[in-house]
Amino acid sequence: MRIVFFGTPGFAVPSLQALLHGRFTVAGVITQPDKPQGRSRSELVAPPVKVIAQAASIPVLQPVRPVGDVFIASLRRLEAELGIVVAYGHILRPEVLALPARGLINVHASLLPRHRGAAPIQQAILAGDRQTGITIMQMEEGLDSGPMLHHVETPIGSDETAGSLAVRLAELGASALIEALSLVSGGLARPIPQDDSRATYAPKLDREVARLVWERDAADLVRQIRAFDPAPGAWAHHNGSTLKLFGAREASGSGEPGTVLEAGSRLVIAAGSGAVAVSEVQPAGKTRLPIEAWVRGRGITAGKRLA
């Protein structure tokens, strides 16, 4: 089966590798353009999926947006029977969805119809879900609303971050994809419509949603810190600058929300109910470091406040 693969970040790499190691022919890869990096923004860095594709001598297309006659013509020349989408980063228009004879299928990092949208991993942690998983679905014009071909469940660990969960789900997604393709190839796939009345949404993340509001319960704040680790990083203000916090757990203690109750090997901050202990911070413009090293360098003490 000839396949065209749409994907960009590291999350998509295991799925692409699984296809390359299987009996499938990857006719081409569609990914986002290289991104400038560094202070001068002069160095262009290729998406992880492009690196894998080039190593396997697979043609790569990098449109700024997957639209227009030129892109459609390039896609048609690949003569793919099926398209696979894994964290590509763009919404695909009907003319793209209709091009492969077998349509397109998507590897989505949630148990649909829960957490449709761009940030299902973070949203599952924010919501306090005890389990999540991978859904393989047929793509249609709606947002993650297509019929489901296959799904696999996995628990969410009590201390798991979005970063560690994404690594697990990427591997789970790759194996679920191969299982689903076996069903499709054998004519055994039985698409199941989603129940739209049970749908929830996981919109694209922005900086403000990661801001810590200390008046909230400690349990909510801990989930927020876990959900935005490693990126974009849950943050607060300290001495007029942004401070990102990581490695959160609930702790005993109380006080005015945002007040530092303990500053040593860990930083304990009072919440609206209970307290939050964190093990790492990242000051603005600096690298991530243990609390003890930051406390020594900054001289923060109990009684100070984070806003």
User: What is the reported pLDDT for 26?
Assistant: 98
Q: Which CATH number is associated with domain 208-298?
A: 3.10.25.10
Confidence grade of residue 186 (pLDDT, cut at 50, 70, 90)? confident
pLDDT at residue 39 above 80?
A: no
Residue 201 above 80 pLDDT? yes
pLDDT mean over 74-86 = 97
Question: Reduced to 3 states, what is the DSSP secondary structure of residue 77?
Answer: helix
Overall average pLDDT of the 273-302 stretch:
92
CA distance 204 to 116: 11
User: Is residue 59's pLDDT more than 90?
Assistant: yes
- Cα 46 to Cα 36, 62, 294, distances in angstroms: 9, 10, 33
Domain range annotation of the chain:
2-202, 208-298
Fold of 2-202: Rossmann fold (3.40.50)
In this prediction, residue 14 has a pLDDT band, given cuts at 50, 70 and 90, of very high
pLDDT digits (tens, 9 = 90+) for 114-152: 999 999 999 999 999 999 999 999 999 999 999 999 999
Grade residue 188 by pLDDT with cuts at 50, 70 and 90. Answer: confident
H runs (alpha helix) in the chain: 13-21, 48-55, 69-77, 94-97, 120-126, 162-185, 218-227, 291-298
pLDDT tens per residue, range 142-162? 999 999 999 999 999 999 999
Compute the average pLDDT of residues 37-48. 86
What is this structure's pTM? 0.95
CA distance 298 to 307: 17
